Amino acid sequence: APAEESQLHVPDPAPDLHNKRLYLAAFAAVLGNFSFGFALVYPSPVIPVLEAYPVPALALDPHKASWFGSVFTLGAAAGGLSTMVLNDRLGRKLSIMFSAVPSAVGYALMGSAQGVWMLLLGRVLTGFAGGITSASIPVYISEISHPGVRGLLGACPQIMAVLGSLVLYALGLVLDWRWLAVAGEVPVLAMITLLCFMPNSPRFLLSQGKEDEALASLCWLRGKDTDYAQEYEQIKDSMRKRISCAEIKHPFIYKPILISVLMRFLQQLSGVTCVLVYLQSIFKKTSVILVTLVGLIRLFSVAIAAVSMDKAGRKILLFVSGTCSCTDVRGHLSFQDVQGMCRLAAVPCSPPGYAMGWGPITWLLMSEILPLKARGVASGLCVVVSWLTENFGLEVPFLFFAIICAGNFLFTGCCVPETKGRSLEQIESFFRTGRRSFMR
């Protein structure tokens, strides 16, 4: 037993953390999240304009405006479903690159729209691309990251999504709605260009039997002057523990999948997505100041999570986030008729609480705790559940959100493991053996 644990020992991370190539690869990938955040809130400044648009073919009535805002989630669910196949067939990197195709076509349709059907189809396609990136990027980031910075890099997808939304709000003040769609093409093209020069995940390459490519990829990500060979042997050793169909019934397989799916289910029931999509309509005349403020608060909160996640741990931030969420729900129930800033403060899982914990950490934990052999399929399943749940979340009262927030708190304490500083192989061994010594 001691010998088994010694094989899982992680060497001093310091030399591995200074290789700028790792951060470049992460940046190239999370440009997809920037595009996702941009596309998600695209209707926010566009809907008020098109509701009063002089061209009848493009004018939105309340029914069409509702579809324009919400059809994105149907595309995202379909994208997550497709990723259950793409992640393991194409690989993490190529799946992210593939998402650029529907994203670019979707923006082109919206930018050149001559009818509402083109706007809706563009939203579906950008949603489809967002579903792919939601499932592929967290997995790619976790598989290329060193344990010492996986929390920091794992928060980058959420940071970039928030930044994409903030840039959309800012550009919406100066650009026509068609040019906003054109601007959405820029991060897509930058992402696919940079990813052409980035390596694939070493763990995915090993799962395909490409040992030389996996070793070269890990060397590129860690640097030649580091002990990457030892990490390579640890990953290679974990790959020998293959998952058979009969093993799916075992706790070390279904338990992390169940935890990941439930986290996505609980997170999306916060209703934060519908608030972001219709934010400018919600605040009406005060939208310019308040919408920008929402974006800045979210960005600041995610940044706090990014710098503290590898020090404080994942669970403590989830507890803080859950506490803020419960407080925000109580505020909403007490001040339902208050306008302006108080309306923002009363939203359940409002930006500070949500973005500090349940926003970025659920995606990171999903990519950390899922077993390698099931990671591609299971991450797609989590995205499907996530976006289908969001549609349900639009129809429930705020008192229900209060119950969910309390459930989040209990779920974190009872079911979520602390993964700070652990390698993906250690986390998988914890679920496989049930021995907490692997997590110390």
H-state helical runs in 202-313 = 202-207, 211-222, 228-239, 251-268, 272-277, 279-283, 287-312
Distance from the Cα of residue 422 to its chain's centroid: 21
In the numeric block, which tokens belong to residue 344? 């923002």
Following DSSP, what letter does each residue of 364-397 receive, concatenated? HHHHHHS-HHHHHHHHHHHHHHHHHHHHHHTTS-
Burial of 295 (0-12, 13-18, 19+ CB in 10 A): buried
Q: With contact defined as beta carbons under 8 Å apart, do 326 and 275 qualify? A: no
- Residues contacting 176, CB < 8 A, separation 6+: none
- Of 143, 25, 35, 137, the C-alpha closest to 80 is 137
Q: What is the pLDDT of residue 338?
A: 44
Q: With contact defined as beta carbons under 8 Å apart, do 387 and 268 qualify? A: yes
In the numeric block, which tokens belong to residue 138? 């967290």
The number of residues in the chain equals 440
Q: Is 46 helix (H, G, I), strand (E, B) or coil?
A: helix
Q: What is the pLDDT of residue 422?
A: 79
- Of 246, 31, 268, 263, the C-alpha closest to 160 is 31
In the numeric block, which tokens belong to residue 411? 């779920």
Q: Is 90 helix (H, G, I), strand (E, B) or coil?
A: coil
Q: What is the pLDDT of residue 164?
A: 92
In Å, what is the CA distance from 239 to each residue of 199, 236, 248, 424? Answer: 19, 5, 17, 12
Q: With contact defined as beta carbons under 8 Å apart, do 48 and 100 qualify? A: no
Is residue 96 within a helix (H) or strand (E), and if so which, with residue range?
helix 92-98
- Name the residue ranges covered by the structural domains of the chain: 2-439
Q: What is the pLDDT of residue 308?
A: 76
In the chain, which residues have pLDDT < 50?
1-15, 285-286, 329-349, 393-396, 437-440
DSSP 146: -
Q: What is the pLDDT of residue 337?
A: 45
- Of 260, 118, 103, 127, the C-alpha closest to 183 is 103
The four Cα atoms 108, 110, 112, 117 give a dihedral, to 10 degrees, of 120
In Å, what is the CA distance from 357 to each residue of 138, 238, 239, 360? Answer: 15, 30, 31, 6
Burial of 170 (0-12, 13-18, 19+ CB in 10 A): middle
CA distance 400 to 37: 26
Q: What is the pLDDT of residue 381?
A: 78
> pLDDT tens for residues 108-120?
999 999 999 999 9
CA distance 51 to 91: 42
Which amino acid is residue 112, in one-letter code?
S
- Residues contacting 104, CB < 8 A, separation 6+: 185, 188, 189
- Of 203, 199, 220, the C-alpha closest to 211 is 203
In the numeric block, which tokens belong to residue 156? 């980058």
Residue labelled with tokens 């593939």:
98
Q: Which fold has domain 2-439?
A: Growth Hormone; Chain: A; (1.20.1250)
Query: The dihedral of CA 246, 135, 113, 291: what is its sign?
Result: positive
